[in-house]
A and B are shown apart, each in its own frame.
Chain A
Amino acid sequence: ELKVEQNPLFLSMQEGKNYTIYCNYSTTSDRLYWYRQDPGKSLESLFVLLSNGAVKQEGRLMASLDTKARLSTLHITAAVHDLSATYFCAGSRANDMRFGAGTRLTVKP
């Protein structure tokens, strides 16, 4: 069974700082996804990582995938308040998609 673990689960950071969220998965995963969820809202797709060494960037967020280490990272550069949300990673094998518990990010002025 594919298991996905994220850390940290809670992250409080100041504006302008950098930080990384880690996502480990237990067995081979076809794809690795990152989603953002605002309180009371749905999930918004951020990145889809398809292969080893894949790196994608959008604004202050950058995601990478290391399939050998079974690790994906979401790096936040120069955080701003608007990035406050919960971030989920998810792995998939065939039709099976499993989510991590989420990282609740709070960016303080």
Chain B
Amino acid sequence: NAGVMQNPRHLVRRRGQEARLRCSPMKGHSHVYWYRQLPEEGLKFMVYLQKENIIDESGMPKERFSAEFPKEGPSILRIQQVVRGDSAAYFCASSPQSGQSNGQPQHFGDGTRLSIL
């Protein structure tokens, strides 16, 4: 499968624990986007990364949340000291370059459903 790969598909954590969500972009894609989707709602932009750089993190809470996209390996969205309100589906999308500049849509992974007990 050459699509965007996210893991795990489902993640359960207790309040105060850490959650790590992984995203491997499509082959040849160097731009990664993370979104959060609350039940019955649309997608909220969180962060946009290129390899080793955070380009735009304006949608990401300043505390407890961080994201990286290292030179090697998947992009990681990390949530520290999780709270109940972090329960959501987290989607990763990738594009070959700044997708908006060449009209290419972002390709989405299947998401990680995070549940906080």
Contacts and interface: CB of A to CB of B under 8 A. Distances in A.
A83 interface: no
Q: Identify which of B42, B48, B108 gathers the most chain A CB atoms within 10 Å of its CB.
A: B42
Given A42-B109, A45-B107, A30 B43 contact: no
A33 B105 contact: yes
Interface string A48-70: 10100000000000000000000
Interface majority SS (helix, strand, loop, mixed), chain A:
strand
A33 B107 CA distance: 12
Contact of B100 (A97, A101, A102): A97
Interface residues of A, number: 24
Interface string B88-103: 0001010000111101
B57 to A, nearest CB: 11
Contacts of B105: 33, 35, 45, 48
A41 B42 contact: no
Interface string A17-43: 000000000000011010100000111
Nearest to A91: B100
Contact of A42 (B99, B101, B108): B108
Nearest to A9: B40
B55 interface: yes
Interface in A67-108: 88, 90, 92-102
B110 A95 contact: no
24 contacts: A30-B101, A31-B103, A35-B105, A35-B108, A41-B110, A45-B105, A48-B103, A48-B104, A48-B105, A50-B103, A88-B43, A92-B100, A94-B98, A95-B48, A95-B56, A95-B100, A96-B100, A97-B33, A97-B45, A97-B106, A99-B42, A99-B43, A101-B41, A101-B42
